[in-house]
Structure 1
Amino acid sequence: MAKVSVYAPIAYLILLLSSLALFSAIYRKRRVQRLVGLKPWFGSHDARDIYLSLKRVETPKLPEKMLKAALLRRASEDLRRIMTLQESKPALTELHQRGVVGDEVWTRFLAAEKVMDAEIMECVAEANALKPGWAQTLFASASEIAQNARIRERLAKVQEAQRIEKEKWENEREMVKEEFTKEIEVGDKKKRRK
């Protein structure tokens, strides 16, 4: 029977653990690079940028109402984005499970949800920094603003569709009127010939 040195299992364990650590490091690095390269779900967040720009202004001192209004606008935009994510999630989940939507789109969507969660937490902190306990009032008002904006968007779409349909029916009516006029003229000519 061959004697196995005590160092052989230790060397094996060291080799195994170092290869697992190397694999893990490479895997994480590639995953982070893939996440960094993802296109954001939403475009630029102008309301947040405006609020942060106003917050950085030191001289002259801006009125607190202006900061509150900018934060309210930021929160309403955040809520609009969250509502969009919530409306899209069931359909996107179904499409991802069926394999219609790739993993990149699903990862972008999940990243957008995490970003919006962080954004809401930041808004809460900003609101409470401006006035303690104001976060609840802020989000109630922002929710009303977001709902109102959605209703106005839907109303504008309905009015546009109504305008298009009206033009379509006006054109149809004119064509039918012309056809009837031609038929009447042809009928009158036939009566005159008899």
Structure 2
Amino acid sequence: MNSLILPAIYLGGCIAAMSGFSYLYRRATNFQPIEPWFPENVEKEQYIQLLNCETPVPEHHLKAALLRRAMEAVRRLVQVQQEKPALQQLMRTGSIGDDLWRDFGVAEQDIMAELQEVVGEANTYKENWGQTIFSTAAQMLEHEKQKAMLVEMKELKEVEDKKRKAMEKDLERDAKRAEEELLREEEEEKKKAKAKK
């Protein structure tokens, strides 16, 4: 009887150790760091730095920095709203993994928290500014987008003008060559005609 107790204890200890190792291993492999969906929020960091400056920063600078922070929050919110339906569809079809969907969910929560923070900060400067700061930020973003489009259109027009001018030069050169060729042929015809006489 005593001879069976020692192997049973040893076997039980091995099974317990393997179970514990298996549990810890599964937890370690399932833990995956959350990948940030967006790059660092520079506008938020700049606003916080201005708030924490040793020398007091004029309020209008703080308001402008907060407005830039709100613009970035709106930009990120719009991007998340545009990407969500496609990601949901990919998730349903199994084209993306749970980890990507989890990262997206964390980004969405971060944006909602950021929006609430901006509203809270805005209301510290002016009562109810938190209710209008995002509409102002959205208008400013739209203005920036239109400005960028105008610059892009101007650049495209310049490129097209250069192409058109180059084509016109090529056509003029080709026409000149053709004209010179015709004149040369006419001269040769005249010379041949004189030689026959």
Whether TM exceeds 0.5 here: the answer is yes
Q: Which residue of 2 aligns with 1:82?
A: 77
State the one-letter code of the partner of 2:181: V
Q: Which residue of 2 aligns with 1:118?
A: 113
Shift in alpha-carbon separation, 1:113–1:178, aligned structure 2, 3 A: farther
Shift in alpha-carbon separation, 1:172–1:86, aligned structure 2, 3 A: farther
Deviation for aligned residue 1:160: 2.2
Q: Which residue of 2 aligns with 1:44?
A: 40
Q: Which residue of 1 aligns with 2:141?
A: 146
Q: Which residue of 1 aligns with 2:49?
A: 53
State the one-letter code of the partner of 2:131: Q
Deviation for aligned residue 1:93: 4.6
Instruction: Return the alpha-carbon distance in structure 2 between the equivalents of residues 180 and 174 of structure 1.
Output: 10
1:182 aligned onto 2:177: yes
Deviation for aligned residue 1:135: 0.5
SS at match of 1:51: helix
Match of 2:157 among 143, 154, 162: 162
Deviation for aligned residue 1:169: 2.4
SS at match of 1:135: helix
State the one-letter code of the partner of 1:41: W
1:34 aligned onto 2:32: yes
Q: Which moved more, 1:96-105 or 1:108-117?
A: 96-105
Instruction: Return the alpha-carbon distance in structure 1 between the equivalents of residues 81 and 43 of structure 2.
Output: 21
State the one-letter code of the partner of 1:53: Q
Deviation for aligned residue 1:100: 5.6
Instruction: Return the alpha-carbon distance in structure 2 between the equivalents of residues 159 and 101 of structure 1.
Output: 40
SS at match of 1:34: coil
Q: Which moved more, 1:151-160 or 1:87-96?
A: 87-96
State the one-letter code of the partner of 1:52: I
Instruction: Return the alpha-carbon distance in structure 2 between the equivalents of residues 169 and 142 of structure 1.
Output: 40
Match of 1:131 among 126, 132, 135: 126
Question: Which one has a bigger Cα radius of gyration?
Answer: 2
Shift in alpha-carbon separation, 1:190–1:110, aligned structure 2, 3 A: farther
What are structure 2's unaligned runs of at least 5 residues? 1-18, 190-197
1:66 aligned onto 2:61: yes
Q: Which residue of 2 aligns with 1:10?
A: none
Identity of aligned residues (%): 31
Shift in alpha-carbon separation, 1:61–1:78, aligned structure 2, 3 A: same
Shift in alpha-carbon separation, 1:54–1:184, aligned structure 2, 3 A: same
Deviation for aligned residue 1:72: 0.8
Shift in alpha-carbon separation, 1:88–1:183, aligned structure 2, 3 A: farther
Q: Which residue of 2 aligns with 1:4?
A: none
Deviation for aligned residue 1:92: 4.7
Instruction: Return the alpha-carbon distance in structure 2 between the equivalents of residues 177 and 98 of structure 1.
Output: 59
